[in-house]
Structure 1
Amino acid sequence: MAHAEQATRDSAFTAADFSLAALILLGTRFVQGFIFWGGASRRLIYDYHDVAGVDHAVKLDFDIPGYVAAKLTHAVPGALWVQTPIEWTLSHHDLIVTSVWLWTLAELAVGLGLMFGLVTRLAAFVSIGLNVALMLIFGWMGSTCLDEWTMAVSGVAMSSAVFLAGSGAYALDNRFFVQTHAGDRRPWVPWITSGPLPAQDVRKLAVWLSVGCIAFTVLSYHILFGAVVSPLHSRTNFHRHHIALSAPMVAADGSVTFDAYVNAGPDTGAAYIVAASLLDGSGQTLAKWDGAALAALGPTAIENKYSYAWASQFRPERIGFSGQTGARAKITLPPTTLQPADGPTRILVLEAIDDSVWRSVAGGGQPLP
């Protein structure tokens, strides 16, 4: 009898606790939902521009520079453990389009579910997954306040709390599931909607989700930025651009071909190259191309890996040529007269408008991975 009375008290306390917790987290639930709703609605509803007299959903039009997948090409250099899947996706038109629509619809469903409190726990669980994916892909980015990392860790913590609490009285779950006692007939219903859950399960979940949120925050911060058990150092620099260069291949006519990859830097800008030179192993200059020569590079001189209108690319500019973060290309500098060289080694040097200098690896002539 005593055991039954204690169980009843636990059950009553748990129900009241859920109701209060859901009310406390009402603002948190709405904000997290609105973040996802905002991302989906900008693409589906609000960001339409007139192009040649026709309205286009800019972020969902594959042939327009504003296509949302552009963010993927920017993100590849610093993505955690998912660079290969992203690059594979970017190599297949249909897969890019499918991925963009699946992500958009997932954001729409999660956003509406959290804001209106419909199938709340399932929406919160998916929200955790989306925020983890955001961390893996974009967590390294953010040239001001670690923007993407902050959004991802905050989203995981917020969604975890909403998953535990449910949506309470101010939600559609309360109207369609809790008040109809659907959970009494099907015990799994509260796990995807709202309402009381077994007290012991909630206590265990609260501990594990808290540990997970703490680990996710600290470990991702340490991996991406250091400053936990090591000095502050970004795994991938998001303040200054860097260009990785393969060894140059020198043709008989004096043209020079190399692979270039902008593997660091802010996605909001580009690296601007205003001079290039070819050196031998002793550092003697064999050939030099100024900004005018680089600006005159034709379409066949720059073979971008991703030729889409929206993708990160190298392209000629008035002062030379530029490369956005994530751009990969095979570039051929025009033929020129080469000076006599000391030894077989050839080193390519690119100079940027901000005085940054990048050198190729010596020897080999192999393309970048």
Structure 2
Amino acid sequence: MTVGQDSPVVAHSTFLGRPARIGSWDELSQGTFRAAKARIEAGDHRAAADLLEVSLEEADELRDVYERWPAEVARWLTGRGVDPAELEREQDRLRSVIGDVAMTGIQAEWPEYRDAALDAARRCRDGDSRAIELVDEVHAIWLGIHDRAVDRVAGHIDIAVRLCGEDILGELWDFLMADWYDAHERRFSPENQPWQVSANQLMVAIVDGFHAHLVGRDRQGDLEMIEEPDRIGFRFAPCGSGGRMLDAEVTGGEPRSAAPYGFATTTRRHDWAWNEVGICSYCVHCCQLNVVMPIDRIGFPTRVIDPPIWTGHPGAATACTWWVYRDPSLVPDSVYHRVGRTPGNRGGKA
């Protein structure tokens, strides 16, 4: 991909309400840290600095929910009558496999990433000869923080399954994402804005969010974009969050669904997990937010997902593909049936 020196890479996004990357979809499919290094190599240190700063913006939503969700899972469990002592024992077990730093939470580690990114951005603007190394250092810091935070969240979801059974997963994610559901419905309902606007915003949100998840085999945040006549796809091979549950290559041979972690995957078919066996309990939230909830509230899925499935074999590579249809009427009936819904019937359950 050719990099245009001195062309802007960041601008304010009215949709996101903050600075965000701009450019062609080809440019946006490249991870933010990789894009920063490409700009340095092209002699555009100012753009590289802008990209380092916007990496903080991309990661901030994860900082928020990854800090909140474990405590909210614990509160939800005790509200259902789980013995606090039993919950504490499970959290101690989780600590023994993911470590003390991960259990402390993302907020405690955030200042290290923030300060490193801002310092590297300043030094890039000053033309520091170590600029590329600085980008790599910031990337490594965020990668560690992100992955530890994912382990903490997914580990708490696993605790819920261990204590209450997998049947509670749909209800638990409904609780954790209630605010997201309301915002999603308000924005993307066809009563509030044209689908062409919604589709573009949904695609922007995909690339913005998955840059921060550091998707891809080398964890740079690179996405594969797929254009088809009726839809546009974004493939993460693997995803940097749910993919860690299933993919051996990006976890040092220890996908979190395998020993010693043993994080839960579905053992039965459920509407909220695409009626597939082997969906990791963390990935359930993608089905609920993008498929089940939008069908129930606005009549169609906003993003259709082909998820990875745990086969019990840690060596398997994984990929996840998200599709945005050019028009909701083009979504196949099979997408609705896969989650136990009936197409064309707002909120209609089969």
TM-score using structure 2 length: 0.27
* Larger-gyration structure (1/2): 1
Name the structure with the higher helix share: 2
